[in-house]
Amino acid sequence: MRPEAVAAMLPFLSDHPGNPSGGHAVARAAKTALEEAREEVAGILGCAPGEVVFTGGGTEADNLAVKGGARAQRSAGRDGIVTSVIEHKGVLAAAARLGTEGCRVAEVGVDRGGVIDLDQLDAVLDERTAVVSVMLVNNEVGTIQPLPEVAARVRARAPRALLHTDAVQAVPWLDVAEWVADFDLVAISGHKFGGPKGVGVLVVRDGVTIEPEIEGGGQERGLRAGTVNVAGAVALATALRITHERRTTEVERVLVLRDRLVRGLAETVPSVFFNGDPEHKVAGSCHVAIPGVESEALLLTLDAAGVYAAAGSSCSSGASEPSHVLAAMGLSRADALASVRLSLGYASTNSDVATALDEIPRAVARLRSAVAV
Amino acid sequence: MSERVLVAMSGGVDSSVAAALLLEAGHDVTGVTLKLWGGESDSGCCSVADVEDARRVAAQLGIPHYVFNFTDDFEENVVTPYTDAYAAGETPNPCVECNRTMKFGRLLDRARAMGFDAIATGHHARVGHESDGRPVLMRGADQAKDQSYVLYMLGRDVLARVRLPVGALTKTEVREHARRLELRTAEKRESMDVCFITKGAKASFLESRLGRAPGPLVKIDGTNVGWHSGVQSFTVGQRRGLGVALGERKFVVDVDAASRTVTVGDRADLLRAEVVLRDALFTTEPGPDEQVSVQVRAHGEPFVGRWRGDRVVCASPQPRVAPGQVVALYRGVVLLGGGIAV
């Protein structure tokens, strides 16, 4: 976490333990802090404070948007759910659940770089489409989706559909407000930009009706019942503000690091190639395929050398699952299992890149020589 | 000499203690749990709870821990051959195939590529050395828990890179070590079932993969005594679940997949004077006519026989070994090798 975010949340774990729903003085301090956090988030995401719903994270926000949006429209006869095939599991699993409840679910494909196929999107949209969910930035390969174009297609063919975007991965790299102006629902998650885990936001625009997933005391406009995590909300807002303020310089700085990493790998590791779309890719993403090297073996070797990389997406057992994103982009299973994700962020330094460029070629050479024996 | 060892940690007490003992002996130890199965099952080493146990033990010991996803290889090398064997009227040993292809195949290959000197598991068996220094596999110190049978296929090149730290201990001693080290797996019960099949659901698992292919149940003389829904439900030697009441104790004495015929008979019809092996593998091939100790089940009592090139001649008639089962040959406590009963 960003130290400023940690500092911001601490008073609400110690000095101001009040419940923002209460009516006394202690509660009022919490309530004030919560509403200030809401205003801060709204200002950065380009919405009104009343449109900010705090949730227990990005997955919860996605579930609320997709399921809540679909269920609110059932009585009007709209039953179509449209997502891209490379969405986060929080969207895909929610859509699949709706499928078991009688909704028509369509997953729109992507090109080799991971950009949504807009013609295919057109083809699955109709008057009965209830929810369309397309992420802003893909969590594995960092591809930026053409959201304004997506919105235009949806408004033309499915004018009553709710538009949701999972913008969880976008916050450090893009001015989310600019990209999501046409979207009814927008999800973000605190820990993706230096805030705490377990707190997120769903923007629900005024006039947009969704059904709550969690019901109870009517908090968060009745859309997310339960005592609000004040400390988490305050820390999320602080982290979001700092990320927003520093974004332009950070993106420039990280781009230099990322390009150095990509160039270095291309020069020192034979036959590597890079996944994603170089024209539409966020600065912090480097996703590299190293044919002939199993990513699990590479990750262990790198971990022991102090380089922390990832592959695929993690399931609850901690095993790395073959990536549905890389498969959708047309990578062979072998290439997908030979791909690793080297993420850069606000904490990444020049020396991190130097270490990676030192260790990765060495590890690859060792693993490849063993295979050849 | 300190070695860099990769320990296969299932989340059970034996492999937990194996990791701990290697660490105490001064080795550089890394833990790994294999995710082998993505289907439905309530046992085995792939449940989230078991992975979590392994992870927590590793954290307690202060060693790195990883999960390797070998589900594709497991399906291809263990599950498919398992169902194929039943479809062919045989009785497979999936744990043997998992050891052969996964732990001492895929994992060992990967460990070597990553620069580890050896892999270790929590099996109750010992790696000993002959006078010339060549490694051999020996029964574990705890006779009741001995697992050398399921490792019968390990060649000397593999044995040279395998460490079995709990093989010299009894199960009681293993648990004492676990308690001494306050490992969370100290009192964990052991799993004995096929890990990829939910307990009690073997028949439905096989049916879901193989379908139903009904056929006749006949007596030795060929008389039809009933019908069955698929040869995969039968194993030579089986007594229960024949699905017909014959008024006397009957055993499956033969399963013929081609004609889908299951033959039942009396205990005497099951007795054989010899066991013929295919795909025999030896670290030390017994001499012609050498008297060997023969084990035909994971925890079965061995019997005495003589090795005759491709078969064991039993000292006294033995119940027929179900085709597909491993037959392991021992000289005293030393495993010589074995093969598959035909």
| A52-89 confidence digits (pLDDT tens) | 999 999 999 999 999 999 999 999 999 999 999 999 99
Across the interface, do B64 and A304 touch by the CB < 8 Å criterion? yes
Rounded (10°) angle between helices B202-210 and B80-87: 90
Domains A3-242 and A247-372 share a fold: no
Q: Which residues of A are catalytic?
A: 315
Write out the H or E segment, with its range, that includes residue A117.
none
Give the pLDDT score at B196: 86
**Ranges for all domains in chain B classified under CATH 3.40.50.620:** 4-180
Q: For the segment B124-156, what is each residue's pLDDT rounded down to a tens digit?
A: 999 999 999 999 999 999 999 999 999 999 999
Please state, in angstroms and rounded to a whole number, the distance separating the CA atoms of residues A248 and B217: 78
Across the interface, do B114 and A300 touch by the CB < 8 Å criterion? yes
Strands A104-108 and B224-228: unpaired
Of the options 3.30.70.260, 3.40.50.2000, 3.30.70.580, 3.90.1150.10, the CATH number for the domain spanning A247-372: 3.90.1150.10
Reported confidence tier of residue B41, pLDDT bands at 50, 70, 90: low
Residues in chain A: 373
**Ranges for all domains in chain B classified under CATH 2.40.30.10:** 269-341
CA nearest A315 in B: which residue?
B48
Looking at CATH, the fold of the domain delimited by A3-242 is given as Aspartate Aminotransferase; domain 2 (3.40.640)
For a pLDDT cut of 90, what percent of chain A falls above it?
89
Please state, in angstroms and rounded to a whole number, the distance separating the CA atoms of residues A107 and A135: 13
Q: For the segment A113-125, what is each residue's pLDDT rounded down to a tens digit?
A: 999 999 999 999 9
For a pLDDT cut of 70, what percent of chain B falls above it?
97
Please state, in angstroms and rounded to a whole number, the distance separating the CA atoms of residues A266 and B67: 29
Q: CA nearest B102: which of B82, B123, B76, B83?
A: B76
Across the interface, do B48 and A294 touch by the CB < 8 Å criterion? no
Per the CB < 8 A criterion, the answer to whether B125 and B146 are in contact is yes
Strands B291-295 and B28-35: unpaired
Q: Distance from B32 to chain A by nearest Cα, in Å?
A: 10
Give the pLDDT score at B42: 46
Nearest neighbour of B112 by CB, restricted to A320, A321, A370:
A370
Rounded (10°) angle between helices A230-268 and A350-372: 60
Please state, in angstroms and rounded to a whole number, the distance separating the CA atoms of residues A191 and A193: 5
**Token representation of residue A156:** 């033309």
Residues in chain B: 342
Q: Is the dihedral of CA B175, B180, B185, B188 positive or negative?
A: positive
CA nearest B49 in A: which residue?
A317
For a pLDDT cut of 70, what percent of chain A falls above it?
98
For a pLDDT cut of 90, what percent of chain B falls above it?
80
Q: For the segment A308-363, what is each residue's pLDDT rounded down to a tens digit?
A: 988 876 655 567 777 899 999 999 999 999 999 999 998 999 999 999 999 999 99
In this predicted structure, which of A317-326, B10-19, B319-328 has the lowest mean pLDDT? A317-326
Instruction: State whether residue B4 sits within 8 Å of chain A by CB.
Output: no
Q: For the segment B58-99, what is each residue's pLDDT rounded down to a tens digit?
A: 999 999 999 999 999 999 999 999 999 999 999 999 999 999
Helices and strands in chain A, H and E counts: 12, 12
Using a CB-CB cut-off of 8 Å, the residues of chain B touching A296 are 66, 68-69, 110
Q: CA nearest A272: which of A356, A195, A347?
A: A356
Q: What is the residue extent of each domain of chain A?
A: 3-242, 247-372
Burial class (CB in 10 A: 0-12, 13-18, 19+), A58: buried
pTM value is: 0.86
Reported confidence tier of residue B195, pLDDT bands at 50, 70, 90: confident
**Cα B114 to Cα A69, A298, A341, B38, B66, distances in angstroms:** 49, 8, 19, 26, 13
- DSSP letter assigned to residue A323: P
**Token representation of residue A58:** 């990005």
CATH number corresponding to B212-265 = 2.30.30.280
Please state, in angstroms and rounded to a whole number, the distance separating the CA atoms of residues B21 and B7: 11
Type of residue found at B151? L
Q: Distance from A363 to chain B by nearest Cα, in Å?
A: 8
Q: Distance from A170 to chain B by nearest Cα, in Å?
A: 29
Reported confidence tier of residue B39, pLDDT bands at 50, 70, 90: low
| pLDDT tops 60 at residue B40 | no
| pLDDT tops 90 at residue B33 | yes
Give the pLDDT score at A317: 59
Type of residue found at B30? T
Helix (H, G, I), strand (E, B), or coil: what is residue A179?
A: helix
| pLDDT tops 50 at residue B45 | no
| pLDDT tops 50 at residue A165 | yes
Strands A129-133 and A80-84: parallel
CA nearest B51 in A: which residue?
A317
Q: For the segment A220-254, what is each residue's pLDDT rounded down to a tens digit?
A: 999 999 999 999 999 999 999 999 999 999 999 99
Give the pLDDT score at A333: 92
Give the pLDDT score at A273: 97
Q: For the segment B159-191, what is each residue's pLDDT rounded down to a tens digit?
A: 999 999 999 999 999 999 999 999 999 988 887
CATH 3.40.50.620 given to domain B4-180: yes
**Cα B265 to Cα A255, B88, B131, B173, distances in angstroms:** 77, 21, 49, 44
Q: For the segment A88-111, what is each residue's pLDDT rounded down to a tens digit?
A: 999 999 999 999 999 999 999 999
B195 in catalytic set: yes
Nearest neighbour of A319 by CB, restricted to B67, B110, B114:
B67
Alpha helices for B162-259 (secondary structure H): 171-180, 202-210
CATH number corresponding to B269-341 = 2.40.30.10
CA nearest A294 in B: which residue?
B110
Surface of B (106-125) touching A: CB under 8 A: 109-110, 112-115
Residues of chain A whose beta carbon is less than 8 angstroms from a beta carbon of chain B are 294, 296-297, 299-301, 303-304, 316-322, 366-367, 370-371
Reported confidence tier of residue B339, pLDDT bands at 50, 70, 90: very high
Per the CB < 8 A criterion, the answer to whether B281 and B337 are in contact is yes
Across the interface, do B51 and A318 touch by the CB < 8 Å criterion? yes
Strands A162-166 and A185-189: parallel
